[in-house]
A and B are shown apart, each in its own frame.
Chain A
Amino acid sequence: MKQRESLWEAYLKRGFSRRNFLKGCVALTSLMGLSSDMFNKVVEAAETKPLPVVVWIHGHECTGCDESFIRSGAPLASDVVLTSIALEYDHLLSAACGAPFEAHLDEVIQKYNGQYILAVEGAVSTKDNGIYCMSGGHTFTHLLDKAAKGAAAIIAYGSCAAYGGIQAAKPNPTGSSGIKMFVGGKPVVNVPGCPPIPEVMTGVVMHVALFGSIPPLDGDGRPKQFYGNRIHDTCYRRPFFDAGMFAETFDDAGSKAGWCLYKLGCRGPETYNSCGNLRWWQGMSYPIQSGAPCIGCANAHFWDEAPFTDRLPKYDKIGDADKIGVGLAVATTAGVVGHAVASVVQRNQRDNLLEDENHDEH
């Protein structure tokens, strides 16, 4: 294996100018959600830090996160993979396969023990000793154990790796769960989303790569720069919410006019992600912009919160909590009226009895 080079050395080798390199660093700084006064640190890191070794493993998932990752426009996913990180093992992007490939993984884990970044996509399937998710002839739990032990930091890409994902939906037949409890206390960066935004994926790995440390995290282990705001609070349709202008159905005038999708079950008010400001596909659009209410795919348990097109869960034909609430209120009122009548009857009976006793005594 050749000497690990820094980003600057990689640029030099490819014949790029210093100016190009600095431009690249400016782009990186803003992509990672850092303020411009961090620029010097980014340049310094890019000049001196050797490219980090990344091991990228896949568990119980659909590889949709990879589909998202390879569409990152800035930085280009190819730039990240080929010049910014040393991607040593990836089920999806590697050309190699089979036994030599698996042997290479063991080699990398041993050689860079305690130094490499482990990127995990997909949930851990825990039921029945993990047989529902096999990889290279072993269970994924085995692979995760092995790979997590020597990792410097772990990035959990996607809602599966962060929270268990759609396969963890009730009744969760495979016992799927997020990876956090299965990595032996190693620091985990949660990058939820189904899939996460491409630029968020590349931004997080670049942060870890350049600074050798994990980005500032919120209470849920998500990088603050990308998950610090609700979609609702960054949504360009928010003024319609505030003004009380809502699409009532998917084909009414409000929907066509681009009004707020809150009444159609939009999960923007509960979801933390960069869809509202970064958007998707180099800022082209995001679900709400294209008229589809957010389903909260970056939230834990979003898969169990159907219906996605309503604010409140519905209970078959009975309706939602408000209908049931009105029903219970009416029933309670009827109950107290009935109780009042019964109480009066009871008191009259009691009084009659007392009167009878009084008569008997005289």
Chain B
Amino acid sequence: MKSVKEVKRKEYYIFSPFLRIFHWIMVAMILVLFFTGLIITKPMNVSTTEPFFSITSIDLVRDIHFVAAFIFCASFILRIYGFIINKGDRLFPRVWEGHFYSETVEVALHYMLLKSHHASFLRNPLARMSYAALYVLVAIEILTGFAMYYMTNPSGTGGMLFGWVNVILGSEMMTHIVHHYVAWFIILFAIGHFYMVIRAEFMEGESEVSSMFSGKKVLAHVPKDANELD
């Protein structure tokens, strides 16, 4: 067995700093939003009978939730700016290319343990599909979230921009419920994502974990899409 130093490796730079900063803002904000959201749905028990001594403050928790939501939304500016200046930061998988589907199926078969291995990718097509799905979930959260937030003044600009969400869902209570349920799906995604990244790092020799810090994938093998750096 060769030692680590003897193995020839090649660097593939794919993630711009803007994408990486966006990613970690997203991680932090999703956690903040999720847990403050749970508290807002079911506020903690009060342990005092005098308002003056009340230690819990739903007002504060709500403010944290709203600030985190605005930061999260604003961070998409980084994501999109990164996409503009660095073609490696793709926003969505290239679903219009035919080989995308066969490759997705191949990876899926391997993950279902039906195939012993799958081709190596800089951009794992199945993972990319899951990120697109995450964006859909996040979009639902943003739409339903603002639909509730801005309806304190239904005739204001925000109410005009997002009020239709409540109409489509039938009622504002349904908007609350959808917002709450989709939050859980995002957490389920996060668990799966966390596992798959670590699995790719340790079992398939992909530098998935470090690339989200350094922007580079340092690989001993040549990935199938090695020529798609841009």
Contacts and interface: CB of A to CB of B under 8 A. Distances in A.
B189 to A, nearest CB: 9
A143 interface: no
B43 A244 contact: yes
Given A262-B43, A305-B171, A332-B191, A228 B154 contact: yes
Given A243-B57, A332-B191, A340 B199 contact: yes
Given A242-B57, A245-B46, A301-B170, A346 B187 contact: no
A82 interface: no
Contact of A299 (B45, B51, B152, B172): B172
Interface string B45-60: 1101101001111110
A111 B113 CA distance: 80
Contacts of B113: 339, 342-343, 346
A49 interface: no
A240 interface: yes
Interface residues of B, number: 49
A343 B203 contact: yes
A208 B116 CA distance: 75
Contacts, number: 127
Interface in A253-304: 253-254, 257, 259, 262-263, 267, 269-272, 296, 299-302
B172 A336 contact: no
By secondary structure, the A interface counts as: helix
Contact of B46 (A228, A254, A269): A254
Contacts of A228: 153-155
Contact of B173 (A244, A245, A267): A267
B42 interface: yes
Contact of B171 (A299, A311, A333): A299
Interface stretch (A12-20, A31-39, A65-73, A322-330): A322-330
B164 interface: yes
B184 interface: yes
Contacts of A271: 172
B10 interface: no
B46 A224 contact: no
B49 A343 contact: no
B46 to A, nearest CB: 5
A224 B42 CA distance: 31
A257 B49 contact: yes
Given A321-B181, A322-B38, A299 B116 contact: no
Contact of B180 (A301, A305, A312, A329): A312
B176 interface: yes
A309 to B, nearest CB: 13
A319 interface: no
Interface of B: 38, 41-46, 48-49, 51, 54-59, 61, 111, 113, 116-117, 151-155, 159-160, 163-164, 167, 170-177, 180-181, 184, 187-188, 191-192, 195, 199, 203
Interface of A: 218-220, 224, 228-230, 233, 239-246, 248, 253-254, 257, 259, 262-263, 267, 269-272, 296, 299-302, 305, 311-313, 321-322, 324-325, 328-329, 332-333, 336, 339-340, 342-344, 346-347, 349-350
22 contacts: A219-B160, A229-B152, A242-B58, A243-B54, A244-B56, A244-B58, A245-B46, A257-B49, A271-B172, A301-B171, A301-B173, A302-B171, A305-B171, A305-B173, A311-B42, A321-B177, A321-B181, A329-B184, A329-B191, A333-B191, A336-B195, A339-B113
